[in-house]
Chains A and B, each alone.
Chain A
Amino acid sequence: MPDTEYLYYCQTSHFVIRIPRGGSKIKKKDKPRKRWMICSAMYLFSRSLKTVQVPLCVIRYTTLGFSRLFNENNPQFPRKPEENLTSVFSLFKPRKGIGVDVLSFLHQKWDFSISGFQRWNKRRKEALFLQDQCYIPERHNILGPDLASAHFIVHRGGCVKFVGQDIWLKKDEDDNYDLPSQYKPNMYLEKIDASGIPLAYEGFDNLVNLLHLKSLTLHDSPHLDDWCLDRFHQFRSLEHLDISGCQQVTERGICTLHKLKNLKKLNLTGVSGVKNLELVCLLLEDVLPELRIEGVNYMDTSILGQASPEK
């Protein structure tokens, strides 16, 4: 919790920035400067050792030891306010010394091949994509659940339809769409069509509290898997679900749909990852009597001609 003595209190992932209210003396101590000198010496030392082919255990012993040396014996957070600021560098002093990640970075071999670069790029793009999908509380606080979900889906290329309206809303070629930017009462989402747009597990965090949602279309959704299907219990009023063409769905995920008590139509055309599709659908229709499943041919006798499974 921020201290009243301090004007500004900011926490980043690794260190704290404290800016005290005016009037505190900034004393110069050479301890931080010595640390920076030792840090740079350490860096040069470890790089030079790598070139001289001295075995790794020396580097490990020494650099791991250094991280212990710099590790202050104060794991509690935040740092005590009695500490005076010693120099301008100590504002940026990490809470716990150099840390393992810096040393690990110094030790690692760098991969400059093209495939290495491609892999790095792919990982970076994935991380950005997941960051884009995560839940933003402000969006829901300002717009309410229905409008926030609508904005989320339409911005990424999907279509939505509200209760009482006939038109599907989606964005045009210039990426413009006509949705209110403030909360409007009595606007409830009825149908969502998120076919083809990449919607990850974290993206479903945004589609909560949709009490009037009747239809969800996720045709050809590339990231849809069993874990996503597991969380469809959050759409309690769902009546129509279309997950055709999703390759990562298996029979275990389809079994979880028994929690959707209002489900009336389910489209499973082209889910090739499911084994024993007919059996699973029969069981599901048994549990949910009003359910009709499309994309399943119970009368398909070609499976009788196949070899029986391993027994």
Chain B
Amino acid sequence: MNRFILGLQFHNFRHSSKIVNIFYNPLSVSSPISVWKILSIKLATNSNTRAFKDCDSESHKISAENTTTTTTWTPNATEERESAFKRTFRVLKEDLWNIRNSQINSREQRIPSEVDIAIIGGGIMGSSIAYWLKQRAPESFNLIVLERDPTYTCASTTLSVGGIRQQFSLPENIQLSLFSASFLRNIKRHLSVLDQDPPDIAFQPHGYLFLATEDGAAQMEANHKLQVELGAKIDLLSPSKLKEKFPWIRTDGIALASHGLENEGWFDPWSLLSAFKRKAISLGAQYVDGEVINFEFDKEHEKIIEESDDPYYSVNHLLVKTKTGDIKKIKFAVLIVAAGPSTGQVAKMLRIGTGPGILKPPLPVEPSFLYFFPFQSEEPDGTDLDVDYTFFNKSVWPVLAERVPAFEKIKMLSAWAGFYDYNTLDQNAIVGHHPYYNNIFFATGFSGHGIQMAPGVGRAVMELILDGSYESIDLTRFGVKRVIMNEPLLERNIV
């Protein structure tokens, strides 16, 4: 006898929720895996069926040239319905193929062919979001994090200074930073994994000092008022007080100074990243070593875009290239793009910037090259991570020596270079779902502030996905809408 199970179809995350009858006969089941496949296929198909391309488990070698956005965003041409018998046999064949593969390559990672939530980017943002999602509902959904470089050699996170400060001019930034400070303070409680040492981020609470000339003094006072209102402990210093506190600074030309007293300093970003990653994995997230090369789009006939003839294409499949060169297709319900400096490329794969209508404005996140000396600085271009040591002598040292006379005799100890995920529009975060795709969320564009806002942004994105709206800190102003409408939200008077 067949048993009926009422369930909800869950093909496209937000809107399409139809009640579908699913048949399954537990007595005739040969293996649990095939049941899963049958059910998931039934769940996934709606009235608009499309034949599955059979590249789930077989290893394809698709050359890089074929996977450009112009050629492969086109939807699947054949929309014939697969017969049930054919589908069953195909599923069973894939299962046997999987078992055979797993016996041969038992050490290789098993990439699932379907997940509920996929996160592109395993840096601090991706790991933070994975942690927050998993700690809210550990057994309720499947989560993978796709990271192309598990050694994090070029990642912005590991090459960053790891500073945290509350001296911003936008209230959202201040609140995020304050929450992150309280999270880091309680990190042993949040991110300890059983049987392992609690994480230690080596926080140095030294405070940031901002100096303002006459022109910027009024803005600094306004910023300070907002910061204190929101709970940050910042001290405003006149030039005489500044001289008293730090006698080694030359105060000519300084009208006002702002010194952070508490919750400001720097910490070790690598230990924070590994703490997040370890905790997320212990809660059930899976980190996959692979690079996303493309997406597959499904045409949805039911959805019509207003005032436009273009059909609506939703995206629920991504193609990931593993380190052995195999290309695997993964089906997801929700996608989170936290790829740092490469987010621009991922957005291009999603037709953002090349598509019609609302997809026309591109996502303005680019990698911006940075030098870090023992005294941090900024730099124009560069593409690789070699340091130009003469830059320090040319541009950085004169400015430092002018402000602090004792620095005339300094010697550079070391230097390294890294990338920012630089938001060319307004250097502030882009967080939220894209208005065209209702199941794609972005958490990028932090332009150097990502590490200090990661816990706060992780929690905000988790609330947005699981609760439907921001509950604690409202980041609607950081949404993708301002990118589309070209309304920059600039920080005033702050780097």
Q: Which residues of A are in contact with B by a Cβ distance under 8 Å?
A: 45, 52-66, 68-69, 71, 75, 96, 99-101, 103-104, 107-109, 126, 201, 226-227, 229-231, 233, 252-253, 255-256, 259
Q: Are A75 and B469 in contact (CB under 8 A)?
A: yes
B342 at interface, CB cutoff 8 A: no
Chain A residues within 8 Å of B468, by CB: 68, 71, 75, 96
Chain A residues within 8 Å of B36, by CB: 55, 57
Chain A residues within 8 Å of B204, by CB: 252, 255
CA distance A52 to B43 in the complex (A): 19
Q: Are A65 and B142 in contact (CB under 8 A)?
A: no
Contact pick for B8, options A54, A56, A69, CB 8 Å = A69
New A-B contacts (20) at CB < 8 Å, excluding given A64-B140, A99-B467, A226-B205? A52-B26, A55-B32, A55-B35, A55-B36, A60-B141, A60-B142, A61-B9, A65-B8, A65-B10, A69-B17, A75-B469, A100-B136, A104-B139, A104-B140, A227-B203, A230-B262, A231-B262, A252-B202, A252-B205, A256-B205
Given A65-B17, A100-B466, A252-B205, A57 contacting B136 (CB threshold 8 A) = no
Chain B residues within 8 Å of A107, by CB: 137-140
Q: Are A54 and B35 in contact (CB under 8 A)?
A: yes
Q: Are B136 and A230 in contact (CB under 8 A)?
A: no
Q: Are B8 and A62 in contact (CB under 8 A)?
A: yes
B40 at interface, CB cutoff 8 A: yes
CA distance A259 to B35 in the complex (A): 66
Q: Which residue of A lies closest to B189 (CB)?
A: A126
Q: Which residue of B lies closest to A58 (CB)?
A: B39
Contact pick for B261, options A61, A63, A259, CB 8 Å = A259
5 example contacts (A-B, Cβ-Cβ < 8 A) are as follows A45-B6, A64-B140, A68-B14, A104-B137, A226-B205
B263 at interface, CB cutoff 8 A: yes
Given A56-B139, A96-B467, A100-B467, A64 contacting B10 (CB threshold 8 A) = yes
Q: State the Cβ distance, B263 to closest chain A Cβ, in Å.
A: 7
B360 at interface, CB cutoff 8 A: no
B206 at interface, CB cutoff 8 A: yes
Interface string of B102-123 (1 = CB under 8 A from A): 0000000000001010000000
Given A53-B32, A58-B7, A58-B43, A109 contacting B139 (CB threshold 8 A) = yes
Interface string of B8-21 (1 = CB under 8 A from A): 11100110010000
Chain A residues within 8 Å of B142, by CB: 56-57, 60
CA distance A109 to B140 in the complex (A): 11
B185 at interface, CB cutoff 8 A: yes
CA distance A55 to B39 in the complex (A): 9
Q: Which residue of A lies closest to B24 (CB)?
A: A54
Q: State the Cβ distance, B462 to closest chain A Cβ, in Å.
A: 9
Q: Which residue of B lies closest to A127 (CB)?
A: B189
Q: State the Cβ distance, B282 to closest chain A Cβ, in Å.
A: 14
Query: What total of A-B pairs shows CB separation below 8 Å?
Result: 108
Near A by CB (< 8 A), chain B positions 15-52 give: 17, 26, 32, 35-36, 39-40, 43
Contact pick for A100, options B137, B189, B261, CB 8 Å = B137
CA distance A61 to B388 in the complex (A): 53
Chain A residues within 8 Å of B137, by CB: 100-101, 103-104, 107
Chain B residues within 8 Å of A252, by CB: 202-205
Max chain A CB contacts within 10 Å: which of B35, B189, B202, B204?
Answer: B204
Chain A residues within 8 Å of B5, by CB: 45, 58
Chain A residues within 8 Å of B139, by CB: 56, 104, 107-109
Chain A residues within 8 Å of B262, by CB: 230-231, 233
Chain A residues within 8 Å of B116, by CB: 57, 60-61, 64
CA distance A101 to B466 in the complex (A): 10
Q: Are B469 and A227 in contact (CB under 8 A)?
A: no
Chain B residues within 8 Å of A58, by CB: 5, 7, 39-40, 43
Q: Are A227 and B205 in contact (CB under 8 A)?
A: yes
Chain A residues within 8 Å of B466, by CB: 100
Near A by CB (< 8 A), chain B positions 331-366 give: none
Q: Which residue of A lies closest to B264 (CB)?
A: A230
CA distance A233 to B43 in the complex (A): 59
Q: Are B136 and A101 in contact (CB under 8 A)?
A: yes
Q: Which residue of B lies closest to A71 (CB)?
A: B468
Chain A residues within 8 Å of B185, by CB: 201, 227
Q: State the Cβ distance, A7 to closest chain B Cβ, in Å.
A: 28
